[in-house]
Amino acid sequence: MMSHWPSPAKLNLFLYITGRRPDGYHNLQTLFQFLDYGDTLQISVDQSDRIQLLTPVVGVAEADNLIVRAAERLKQAAQAKQTLPPQAGAQIAIDKRLPMGGGLGGGSSNAATVLVALNHLWQTGLTPDELAAIGMQLGADVPVFVKGFAAFAQGVGEQLQPAEPEEKWYLVAHPGVSVSTPAVFNDPALTRDTPVRSLATLLSSPFANDCEAVVRKSFREVDELVSWLLEYAPSRLTGTGACVFAEFDTESAARQVLELAPNGVRGFVARGVNVSPLQRALRGDWLLRDSVPPFQTLHVSHQHTRVNAHDRIRRLLSCRSFSGRKA
């Protein structure tokens, strides 16, 4: 029997690069918050001694897929501790909503969901810290998804401190391009010397993303999308992109702006949450919502309707107080 497990998106509410390490990696300071939106994994366990991915991802070999790699790493770790029989197997399918290369952490979240779900279903008994250590071998963002709480991250992302940013509503938009994370971090123009600051100082300062200038310069589509969203609300890049988010006090305000999105822009509206839907699933208080739509592609067919809608939204937003901080 298949059980359903959420694999939520994340936002980097701010992201600062504070230095480059001798090993080539970068030190950073970032604030992670989850979204009540993402992929869904369907998992069943068996005695086949095989990890089967029932819905392969186009362009990614099964052996390289983070879902399969996470399951295999967990299986090895549990069997080394003799808490899992050799014949343990699993079948995994995915309802993919999050774009690849979007800065929403989709692959890392998938890996974390596999680790947490199979640890529960196989009853291997590994601790969250042990799961996070396995996750770190798969990617720097995996541990925060395993831990399941909004966090201030430092180092390469492995130093996590619980945080409680305001749970706002977000319009998340994708400009239709894919951004290479290695290319961004290797760009000579990337800011790498932002001063290290305390969390309290960062929370009281305007939020920004050090990767944004490089990405906006390299991708006209991202630059135009950020500029458009800034007309309505505080907006910035998440991760290395390509997704951009705008923050709102209410769901209705976010949805009304989404309806005005330029032709071809895909987006969705979701609530920022400090406790991951994956943690709620472990507690049994998360329900699969088939009605939640994937990225929507918006098209506006009548110019006069667009102008009138712009006027209505501007009046709406001018009456609301936004405590978020522009990039």
Express each pLDDT in 205-223 by its tens digit.
Answer: 999 999 999 999 999 999 9
Q: Is 10 a catalytic residue?
A: yes
Instruction: Give residue 320's pLDDT.
Output: 36
pLDDT tens digits, residue range 123-181?
999 999 999 999 999 999 999 999 999 999 999 998 999 999 999 999 999 999 999 99
Catalytic residue among 36, 141, 147, 168: 141
**What end-to-end distance do the CA atoms of the chain give, in Å?**
46
Question: What mean pLDDT value characterizes the chain?
Answer: 89
User: What is the 3-class SS of 100-142, one letter each residue?
Assistant: CCCCCCHHHHHHHHHHHHHHHHCCCCCCHHHHHHHHHHHCCCH
Q: Is 75 a catalytic residue?
A: no
**How much of the chain, in percent, has pLDDT values that exceed 70?**
87
Q: Which of 12, 113, 18, 107 is nearest to 71 (CA)?
A: 113
Contact of 117 with 5, CB cutoff 8 Å: yes
pLDDT tens digits, residue range 278-287?
999 998 876 6
Using the structure block, give the residue that is written with the tokens 């991250």.
Answer: 153
Instruction: Give residue 296's pLDDT.
Output: 56
Contact of 211 with 241, CB cutoff 8 Å: yes
Q: Name the DSSP class of 162.
A: E
* Residue 213 tokens, joined: 């200038």
Contacts for 198 with CB less than 8 Å, ≥ 6 apart: none
Cis bond leading into 309, ω under 30°? no
Contact of 144 with 309, CB cutoff 8 Å: no
pLDDT tens digits, residue range 50-84?
999 999 877 788 888 999 999 999 999 999 999 99
Q: Name the DSSP class of 196.
A: P
pLDDT tens digits, residue range 25-49?
999 999 999 999 999 999 999 999 9
Tell me the domains of the chain and their CATH numbers: 3-318 (3.30.70.890)
d(CA 268, CA 170): 8
Long-range CB contacts (within 8 A, 24+) of 126-131: 126/74, 126/77, 126/78, 126/81, 126/83, 130/77, 131/74
Residues 195-209 have a mean pLDDT of: 97
Contact of 116 with 278, CB cutoff 8 Å: yes
Q: Name the DSSP class of 262.
A: P
Contacts for 294 with CB less than 8 Å, ≥ 6 apart: 97, 268
